[in-house]
Amino acid sequence: MAGKNVIQKILARSVGKPSVETGDFVHVRSNCITTVGGDGDGRGLGQLDPNAKPSVFDPQRIGIVVGHAGAGGMPRTAGNHRRKMRQWAETVGVPRENIFDLGSQGVEHVIAGEQAWALPGEVYLSIVDGHTTALGALGGFAVALSYGAAEYITKGYTWIEVPPVARITLTGRTKPGVFARDVYEYVLGQIGPNGTPSQVIVWDGDYVRDLDMDARFTLCANALFSSAWTNIIEPDDVTLDYVRTRTNKALVPLYGDADAEYEQQLRFDVSDIEPQVVPPPERHRAAAVSKHAGLKISKAHIGTCANGRYEDLKLAAMVLKGRKIHPDVMLNITAGSTAVYRRCLDEGLIGIFMDAGVFLPPASCGMCAGGKNTPLADGDVCISSGTCNYPGRMGSSKADIYLASPATVAASAVTGEITDPRQLL
Amino acid sequence: MTTRILRGRAHCFDGVLDVDWEICPIEDLNYLRSAEGCALSYGEKQHFLSRNCLTRLDPDFPNKVAPGDILVGNKGVGWGHDHDHAVMALKGVGLSAVICETTRQNFQRNCLHHGLPLVKVAGVFASVATGDLLELDLNAGTLLNETSGARLTFKPYPEFILETLDAGGLYAGHLGHANT
């Protein structure tokens, strides 16, 4: 009989059983803080019974993050949602230190990582958002509750059908100018939109081991695009160092057995991958940057749950230092959290960005979540490190969105056309 | 035991069905997030979203669906984000179930939690044509194509999920969309 994969082990422990099988239906509880968007859409609090006394299963295990709606975009709803959220949090007893409102706001998955709300070996749940999977980089099972959220925050448990697991092993070293975002887009291009249907991806291999945490979050942010439910990197010293500097909670990491059961096992050598660009409208048609090089752009964006962390912005600064944004281009860099901005200030990145002529909105999901700040207009051509390239994602549905790494976006913003970042690094 | 048999005509759509593109455009979700959209009732939201349901693939689709009809998809049904407006759009046009080869859990769970049965049935796309009369037995885990005679099976959901479907979803009681 095959051994157990890491997902089976995490779910078994969360339900207090010695083991679970793929396909079992189980009711799981989470030891982690569940992240609630503080200015989001109608899912979550919108489904609570208005006639019932407001209560949650454990207010200590609720965290609230404002930033999805652009931290100032959509003023009417952002204002209403924030006020209602704060009133609700007060009523049910969510601790103040679990609330990241305007002034400490950002992308919920960036802040949840910074706060180590997701932990190795644990089930981590957020109220909404397919990109919750970024937190799988911390070695837990990280998924969004979506329409089931209100039931969860009332009862404290949710059902899960133990999912099949795909193992994707990445080996080799990337060329200079090629980053985790390029590697992810390349792999997605190879496996396609149905590459891992309803599966959980386990990323491993020496390439993954050598990545810092910010790059691991990038690798894990977009698992949904090959139809995976989520993804995970089994914890190592990099993970544990990151978590231990952020929490003193007890950690008991879990690992798959050497003979664990996998639905499929794939291997990719990253050595020959070029910087990637994903043209609209389909998400998975990545190509080497040379295929699209020279295309004129009007807007550019760096940030989001995929590439809005410190190392991403540092990469942008390496390209932008001593240079100016092309006069026909607006480059919007939006940090994924207020703490990311703070570090950028300390390390001198803000000055580089301002000298280059970058537009710097408050930390949030930036242009990606529906174009909440500087939305695309009809006819715009944008290159972005955001998550999606379908028409309308960042504003007008009559604008084109190309996706790329922060380095490629920054290089393109300087030249005014899609550009291989190696020319400017 | 409650009988859980659905009968309806099939509407077949091939290819990836993105929640934000093919099933229901993101612009309609953005409207629901506006102050005006937030104020709509569950039924009003369904009605609003149904206007553009799958119209990128068939501009007249909302007018072709009779109440109780069944969506039959191939691989990648409900692809993309966890945006549940797509489920409300499918319910809004009158569909009673979704049957597909593969999907993602966020979409699957959103369907079940909104009270819309979704089942994965291997081989369904090759066995059903638009207009076929289908009988879906959620208890037995069987799909009968009454038009062709083809019979397929699937793993039935546990009772607690079927009871959620019976109720019309997780919040049907207080959101006013209980199955009748």
Amino acid type, A307: N
Question: Are A138 and A187 contained in the same domain?
Answer: no
B36 — contact with chain A (CB < 8 Å)? no
The total number of structural domains that make up chain B: 1
Query: Residue range A5-18: average pLDDT?
Result: 98
Band the pLDDT of A45: cuts 50, 70, 90.
Answer: confident
B167 — contact with chain A (CB < 8 Å)? no
Distance CA B2, CA B179 (A): 14
Report strand pairing: B5-13 vs B133-137. antiparallel
Question: Are A175 and A152 contained in the same domain?
Answer: no
Range of the domain at A389: 276-423
pLDDT per residue rounded down to tens, chain B (180 residues): 688 999 999 999 999 999 999 999 988 998 888 878 888 999 999 999 999 999 999 999 999 999 999 999 999 999 999 999 999 999 999 999 999 999 999 999 999 999 999 999 999 999 999 999 999 999 999 999 999 999 999 999 999 999 999 999 999 988 866 553
Q: Is residue A400 part of a domain?
A: yes
Q: Is residue B180 part of a domain?
A: no
Question: Are A136 and A229 contained in the same domain?
Answer: no
Q: Which chain A residues have a beta carbon less than 8 Å from that of B109?
A: 146-148
Helix axes A406-415, A310-320, angle to 10 degrees: 30
Q: Write out pLDDT tens, residues A55-79.
A: 999 999 999 998 887 665 555 556 7
What are the percentages of helix, strand and coil residues in chain A, rounded to 5? 35, 20, 45
- Considering only CB atoms, B30 lies closest to which of A147, A225, A370, namely A370
CB A93 within 8 A of CB A61: no
DSSP per position, B2-44: ---EEEEEEEEE-S-EEIIIIIS-HHHHHHHTSHHHHTS-HHH
Distance CA A204, CA A363 (A): 31
Distance CA B76, CA B84 (A): 16
pLDDT at A80: 74
pLDDT surpassing 90 at residue A421: yes
Q: Which chain B residues have a beta carbon less than 8 Å from that of A228?
A: 104
The total number of structural domains that make up chain A: 3
Q: How many CB atoms lie within 10 A of CB A287?
A: 15
pLDDT at B180: 38
Q: Residue A48's closest CA among A85, A83, A76?
A: A85
Q: Which chain A residues have a beta carbon less than 8 Å from that of B82?
A: 128-130, 144, 146
Instruction: Look at B175 and A76 and tell me if their CB atoms are within 8 Å.
Output: no
Instruction: Look at B106 and A49 and tell me if their CB atoms are within 8 Å.
Output: no
What backbone torsions phi and psi does residue B144 show, to the nearest 5 degrees? Answer: -110, 125
With a pLDDT cut of 70, the percent of chain A lying above it is: 97
DSSP helix/strand/coil, A3: strand
Q: Before A281, cis peptide (omega within 30)? A: yes
Pick the residue from chain A with its C-alpha nearest to B164.
A148
Q: Is residue A26 part of a domain?
A: yes
pLDDT at A138: 98
Q: Which chain B residues have a beta carbon less than 8 Å from that of A22?
A: none
According to DSSP, residue A133 is labeled G
**Vertex A149, ends A148 and A151: CA angle to 5°?**
75
CB A198 within 8 A of CB A229: yes
Question: Are A229 and A283 contained in the same domain?
Answer: no
The CA distance from A127 to the nearest CA of chain B, in Å, is: 10
Question: Are A22 and A128 contained in the same domain?
Answer: yes
Look up the CATH number of the domain holding residue B136: 3.20.19.10
**What tokens does B113 get?**
């939690």
CB B46 within 8 A of CB B88: yes
Query: Residue range A206-213: average pLDDT?
Result: 98
Question: Are A320 and A364 contained in the same domain?
Answer: yes
- CB contacts < 8 Å between A and B, how many? 118
Burial of A273 (0-12, 13-18, 19+ CB in 10 A): buried
Range of the domain at B133: 5-175
* Probe site for chain B from A125, A227, A376 (most B CB atoms < 10 A): A227
Q: Point out the domain boundary residue: A161, A181, A202.
A: A161
pLDDT at B36: 87
Could you say which residues from 75 to 114 on chain B have a Cβ atom under 8 Å away from some Cβ of chain A?
75-76, 79-82, 84, 87, 102-106, 108-110, 113-114
Question: Are A39 and A51 contained in the same domain?
Answer: yes
Q: Is residue A354 part of a domain?
A: yes
- Residue recorded with tokens 């329409």: A147
B172 — contact with chain A (CB < 8 Å)? no
According to DSSP, residue A417 is labeled B
Q: Residue A107's closest CA among A425, A376, A386, A410?
A: A386
Instruction: Look at A130 and B81 and tell me if their CB atoms are within 8 Å.
Output: yes
Q: Is residue A25 part of a domain?
A: yes
Q: Point out the domain boundary residue: A145, A161, A177.
A: A161
DSSP helix/strand/coil, A161: strand
* Probe site for chain A from B17, B109, B121, B163 (most A CB atoms < 10 A): B109
> Residues of A at the B interface (Cβ-Cβ below 8 Å)?
23, 25, 41-43, 47, 49-51, 69, 74, 76-77, 80, 128-130, 143-144, 146-148, 150-151, 159, 161, 163, 193-194, 197-198, 224-225, 227-229, 281, 370, 388, 390, 392-393, 397
Q: Point out the domain boundary residue: A244, A269, A294.
A: A269
Helix and strand tally (H, E) in chain A? Answer: 13, 17
Q: Looking at this predicted complex, what is its ipTM?
A: 0.96
Instruction: Look at B161 and A47 and tell me if their CB atoms are within 8 Å.
Output: no
Determine the longest span between alpha carbons in chain B, in angstroms. 50
Question: Are A406 and A359 contained in the same domain?
Answer: yes
Instruction: Look at B106 and A146 and tell me if their CB atoms are within 8 Å.
Output: yes
Q: Is residue B124 part of a domain?
A: yes
pLDDT surpassing 60 at residue A157: yes
pLDDT at B117: 98
Q: Which chain B residues have a beta carbon less than 8 Å from that of A154?
A: none
Question: Are A145 and A229 contained in the same domain?
Answer: no
Band the pLDDT of A370: cuts 50, 70, 90.
Answer: confident
- Considering only CB atoms, A224 lies closest to which of B33, B104, B158, namely B104
Instruction: Look at A194 and B75 and tell me if their CB atoms are within 8 Å.
Output: yes
Burial of B58 (0-12, 13-18, 19+ CB in 10 A): middle
Pick the residue from chain B with its C-alpha nearest to A223.
B80
Look up the CATH number of the domain holding residue A340: 3.30.499.10
DSSP helix/strand/coil, A26: strand
The CA distance from B109 to the nearest CA of chain A, in Å, is: 8
Q: How many CB atoms lie within 10 A of CB B166?
A: 16
Instruction: Look at B20 and A281 and tell me if their CB atoms are within 8 Å.
Output: no
Question: Are A143 and A26 contained in the same domain?
Answer: yes
Q: Which chain A residues have a beta carbon less than 8 Å from that of B160?
A: 159
DSSP helix/strand/coil, B74: coil
CB B98 within 8 A of CB B117: yes
Question: Are A331 and A370 contained in the same domain?
Answer: yes
Q: Write out pLDDT tens, residues A273-290.
A: 999 999 999 999 999 999
Q: Is residue B21 part of a domain?
A: yes
Q: Is residue A241 part of a domain?
A: yes
Q: Is residue A78 part of a domain?
A: yes
Query: Residue range A202-225: average pLDDT?
Result: 98
Q: Which chain A residues have a beta carbon less than 8 Å from that of B173?
A: 49
**Strands in A83-206 per DSSP E:** 99-100, 123-126, 141-144, 158-161, 165-171, 200-204
Question: Are A156 and A69 contained in the same domain?
Answer: yes
Q: Is residue A238 part of a domain?
A: yes
Contact residues for A132 (Cβ-Cβ < 8 A; gap 6+):
A35, A109, A124, A125, A126, A142, A143, A144, A230
Instruction: Look at B75 and A130 and tell me if their CB atoms are within 8 Å.
Output: no
B22 — contact with chain A (CB < 8 Å)? no
Q: Which chain B residues have a beta carbon less than 8 Å from that of A161?
A: 105
B39 — contact with chain A (CB < 8 Å)? no
